[in-house]
Structure 1
């Protein structure tokens, strides 16, 4: 079956987007999804996202990692699907949509999407790193030199190590630029490599740096390898509410491919 797909990217984090309201494609076709995300034998992407109908919201987001498996929340993917829904005229400049971690609210203005993320009520402080869940699990640690750090090797070692094991965690390496700006490089599970940007990752970094006292600001600028993002929140003791991820979401191209080829 030939399907129409769209390629979107949010600060270099790229996704195959499919309007699944018309196709009703299967949710468990892991091999096909992995092939479509393959950069040599398919379209090429960090993940694939279905836009589907939802009775309680404007639409539903169903997200797959590049390995073909359905996964936890993807922040940049969430921003891209808002831009996609706007392109399809499913929404105008504001929306509510459901994802695997619940309901999200978002706005879009001139290609810039501001996406509400889930509240964070627990940040774990460990020796040398922090751990928190921003819709996906994230390990956060400060490094002095991100340029020479072997992200894939060190990220994989942490991702598969204790205490994360087979379930794993995304891994974020952080350096401080100034009081409200941080540089981030991220190893993503499911992609099993460094990605140019990770939305839930920069959200985790912003909250972790505030929690650890590296910044007192509640609007944090994050420089990912793929470009700048902003995270804002309200801190109430050790809980974080009104968490928003803001940045560009851009359609790269549109195409047609055989779903099963």
Structure 2
């Protein structure tokens, strides 16, 4: 079975998109995304995105990390899908419905409302998610927020100085986080401007993480060190995040289609 794909990226966070909205695909095996994502023996990507019909929205977006795990949300992929779809849409995701629309050079996405309750992150036990009494090496007192998927955010004087590749895996898999966690390390770069590095659960260090930018901007606004809108600078570039207390998160940034091709389904299933 020959299957068409679209290779896309948002600030260097890259995706293989399979559009199954009109022509259904076989059930996705547990190792399928992992094999397809391999950069030596597969097509290569950070995430596999599968678009399917939805009973409640215009269509459904499923998201698989490069380790094969299926996750709830991906901000960069949402912008890529908006560019691909070409018009405003309401999209079903594992983290809830989002709305997206293409814009010049990219897209704007309403990511929904953040959640701050400890059991909505989720954490293993109750604590104040605005000032968590925990730490790992040089990182401590983080904030936690769920923006469709779970994030923990550390604010430091110099995010660039943190060896996130070394400490990220331990935080991601700590028993405190029963569904694992995305790890964000940020510092203030200017007025309403943050520098951010992200260790993404199931994918590792990434050039950009849209939900991480959303979570970090929300945490900074909640902490009182930034006001909306916030510019978040990641290794791959900038995202603009707008959020007011009690409202939904609006993320705006670029997306790009890289190329299209086909592959043989049985080679990866």
Q: Same fold (TM over 0.5)?
A: yes
Shift of the alpha carbon at 1:147? 2.7
The change in CA–CA distance for 1:213 and 1:27 in structure 2 (over 3 A counts) is farther
**TM-score (structure 2 length as normaliser):** 0.88
**1:260 aligned onto 2:266:** yes
Higher mean C-alpha deviation, range 114-123 or range 65-74: 114-123
From 139, 153, 166, the equivalent of 1:153 is: 166
Correspondence for 1:189: 201
Correspondence for 1:106: 100
Shift of the alpha carbon at 1:178? 1.3
Higher mean C-alpha deviation, range 130-139 or range 152-161: 152-161
Correspondence for 1:89: none
Contact 1:39 1:45 in 2 (8 A): yes
Gaps of 5+ in 2: 118-128, 134-140
Matches within 5 A, 1:12-27: 12-27=12-27
In the aligned structure 2, how far is the partner of 1:218 from the partner of 1:80? 24
In the aligned structure 2, how far is the partner of 1:169 from the partner of 1:129? 12
In the aligned structure 1, how far is the partner of 2:219 from the partner of 2:27? 34
**1:64 aligned onto 2:64:** yes
Higher mean C-alpha deviation, range 124-133 or range 249-258: 124-133
Q: Which structure has the highest strand share of the two?
A: 1
Contact 1:140 1:172 in 2 (8 A): yes
Contact 1:19 1:51 in 2 (8 A): yes
**TM-score (structure 1 length as normaliser):** 0.90
Runs (4 or more) in structure 1 with deviation over 6 Å come to none
Correspondence for 2:120: none
- The CA deviation string for residues 170-217 of structure 1, in whole angstroms up to 9 with x for no partner, is 0000010112000000001111x10111111110000101111112x1
Shift of the alpha carbon at 1:162? 4.2
**1:176 aligned onto 2:193:** no
Shift of the alpha carbon at 1:161? 2.0
SS in 1 for 2:248: strand
The change in CA–CA distance for 1:27 and 1:203 in structure 2 (over 3 A counts) is farther
**1:251 aligned onto 2:261:** no
**1:206 aligned onto 2:212:** no
User: Pairwise CA RMSD of aligned residues?
Assistant: 1.5
In the aligned structure 2, how far is the partner of 1:203 from the partner of 1:257? 34
